[in-house]
């Protein structure tokens, strides 16, 4: 894998791949979800929001142009198939916002409890 900015090889760094030149990080999306869930201590959903294209960066894996997106307050580059690029310090910023990505989809267990509560209130 190559850094989308410097085109140097990325090094494995724990659950991410790091560029030793620009301090950016390449993170697989399922790994990002796991990191955010660990940080938030709950299930999360990633509300990707498109943003205007200000630069086009290649995917670290396939080299195709990545989507420019926002997650929370952070502007990112994303290849839906391969991962997300974080410039230096952006991964820490996202992990700090982890609780705002709490998945609001009720689990089957929560849905059942909600329905039972509704039935017994009347």
CB 42 within 8 A of CB 102: yes
Joined together, the tokens standing for residue 76 give: 């990112």
At residue 18, does pLDDT exceed 60?
yes
3 within some domain: no
Q: How far is CA 49 from CA 11, 22, 36, 72, 99, in A?
A: 28, 25, 17, 9, 17
62 within some domain: yes
2 within some domain: no
50 within some domain: yes
Q: In 1-117, which ranges are E strands?
A: 11-13, 16-18, 25-27, 49-50, 67-71, 74-79, 83-86
80 within some domain: yes
22 within some domain: yes
109 within some domain: yes
pTM summary value:
0.83
Per the structure, how many domains does the chain have?
A: 1
Rounded-to-integer distance, Cα 88 and Cα 86, Å: 6
Q: 42-90, pLDDT tens digit by residue?
A: 889 999 999 998 889 999 999 999 999 999 999 999 999 999 999 999 9
99 within some domain: yes
């Amino acid at each position: 894998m190559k850094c989308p900015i410097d085109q140097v090889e990325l090094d494995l760094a724990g659950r991410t791949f790091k560029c030793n030149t620009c301090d950016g990080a390449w993170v697989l999306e399922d790994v990002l979800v796991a990191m955010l869930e660990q940080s938030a201590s709950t299930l999360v959903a990633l509300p990707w929001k498109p943003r205007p294209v200000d630069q086009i960066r290649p995917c670290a894996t396939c080299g195709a142009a990545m989507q420019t997106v926002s997650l929370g307050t952070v502007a990112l580059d994303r290849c839906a198939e391969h991962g997300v690029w974080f410039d230096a310090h952006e991964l820490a910023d996202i992990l700090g916002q982890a609780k705002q990505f709490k998945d609001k989809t009720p689990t089957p267990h929560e849905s059942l409890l909600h329905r039972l509560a509704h039935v017994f209130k009347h």
